[in-house]
Amino acid sequence: MNAPRHFQFSSGVDDRPHAVVIGSGFGGLAAAVRLGARGYRVSVLEKLDAPGGRAYVYRQDGYTFDAGPTIVTAPFLFEELWALCGKQLADDVELRPVAPFYRIRFANGEVFDYSGDAEAMRREIARFSPDDVAGYERYMQMSEAIFKVGFEELGHVPFDSILDMLKVAPDLMKLASYRTVYGLVSQYIQDERLRTVLSFHPLLVGGNPFSTTSVYCLISHLERKWGVHFAMGGTGRLVTGLVGLIEGQGGAVSCNREVAEITLNGRRATGVRLASGETMAADIVVSNADAAWTYRKLLPTTARKRWSDAKLKRARYSMGLFVWYFGTRRQYPEVEHHTILLGPRYKELLTDIFDRKILADDFSLYLHRPTATDPSLAPAGCDAFYVLSPVPHLASGTNWAHEAERYRKSIEKLLSATVLPGLENEIVTSRLLTPQDFQDRLNSVNGAAFSLEPILTQSAWFRPHNRSEDVDNLYLVGAGTHPGAGLPGVLSSARVLDTVVPNAETFAHAHA
């Protein structure tokens, strides 16, 4: 990392080199803070009416709903951003540990409490399958070994050249990265229920455990090492905190400003043109818009060699999500903060979602009850929830305008029959988000919830690079870039950006 240079504000003119960041998801906001600390004047341009991207906040009828991320892992990645501004995260946002991390409920009602407490985990494993305890211990050792390479070594370095990939190939082979998450877990664990419990994590970043590279087994260790946290007041507090940091650096986050095009001079990015027609010049452009969208929609085909339309069409996109946000007039105190409700099928359901692209009648759900940790997110005596169901992305041809209410009702029926009795009579407020919204609101290709699928052939060098391969002075951060989706992934993409953007001094002469 380079030391920041302090540019002068002479005669009221900000002479710092200008960086335009397209999009205010966590990747974009983290990139903005890092660029501000490096001496850039930063303008973040956001299409929506508020920052956060997938972490947008809906407020209605006295309830606060975080639209997307709720599970905060690796908090040091946030702490670093505050430290770059000479501040402390804890002064702005309280991150509270959540225990258990997840309550996993099987279709037959059996429950597994998944936590970061090694002893409690051993007891839970033994309760299901005593013979698997030793295998579990060995699996966790493997997870730690993968973490050391996959997260600590590879997650924070750029993969600009195929040589970078070749250098790490022996490590990846040693760690059996050609195996899938489910495949690796199954090497250590015999009980089918426990295989599910230990292999579902890729779904949190848009991957099918049966095809995602086993590098993602590092999440088991990452969660145990740093815990699972919730931002009091909601994830939106982290968003407003980051916006405050950017403004404190003299940068700006402007909403309702959709970028229609990245302007070019030859193969060099020179700025952006907004949908309003206005243009903005920049020394560097950083796109936090979906990487595939950035290449397909914001740059002409003639400017792209590597990320051609054909390649982007062939790429595999993560699954979609159907999300139902609802508030109840009563509380359900027996429901944990994070609950996973597994359906009757695991592999077959995932095949329907990822490969056959069929909207199945059954589902596995993630249920979020933030009021378990922070009751202020709903009126007194009430609960705020969201429930999400992984579904195929838009290539399924599902017409969500027609399907959404029917699908919501079948989820409501299942919740009412299991963990939220009488739910249909308790709802006071409700809203939906479908893959169509991911495409229309968030500019996600195919309405995918997590951009490109995290398979080995779409990871590291194979993923859109943080320094564009096609356009000079263009950089990319966020879920569709290296290292990938999820809060740790997109915050790490901004960390990688920090290592590949030019020093602000490079542009200083132009501003003298």
List interacting residues with ligand FAD (CB under 6 A). 22-28, 45-48, 53-55, 68-71, 258-259, 288-289, 321, 323, 388, 442-443, 449-450, 478-479, 485-487, 490
- Residue closer to ligand FAD by CB (options 22, 189) is 22
- Residue closer to ligand FAD by CB (options 135, 489) is 489
Least Å from the CB of residue 109 to ligand FAD:
25
- Residue closer to ligand FAD by CB (options 186, 371) is 371
Q: Cα 441 from chain centroid?
A: 16
The CA R_g of the chain, rounded to the nearest whole Å, is 22
Least Å from the CB of residue 265 to ligand FAD:
20
The residues near 428 (Cβ < 8 Å, ≥ 6 apart) are: 61, 327, 328, 329, 382
- Residue closer to ligand FAD by CB (options 17, 486) is 486
206: left (phi over 0), alpha (psi -120 to 50) or beta: left
Least Å from the CB of residue 88 to ligand FAD:
22
Least Å from the CB of residue 230 to ligand FAD:
10
Return d(Cα 499, Cα 416) in angstroms, integer.
50
Q: Please report which residue ranges of 430-479 form alpha helices under DSSP H.
A: 435-440
The residues near 71 (Cβ < 8 Å, ≥ 6 apart) are: 98, 101, 204, 228, 229, 230, 338, 487
Return d(Cα 398, Cα 27) in angstroms, integer.
30
Least Å from the CB of residue 378 to ligand FAD:
19
Least Å from the CB of residue 131 to ligand FAD:
32
Least Å from the CB of residue 192 to ligand FAD:
26
- Residue closer to ligand FAD by CB (options 162, 500) is 500
- Residue closer to ligand FAD by CB (options 183, 488) is 488
By C-alpha distance, which of 29, 369, 112, 382 is closest to 230? Answer: 369
In b/e form, how buried is each residue of 425-440, taking b as 16+ CB within 10 angstroms? ebebbeeebbbbbbbe
Q: Residue with the closest Cβ to ligand FAD?
A: 25
Asked if 198 and 189 touch (Cβ cutoff 8 Å), the reply is yes
Q: Cα 170 from chain centroid?
A: 28
Q: Cα 339 from chain centroid?
A: 19
Least Å from the CB of residue 86 to ligand FAD:
24
Beta bridge partners of 389: 322
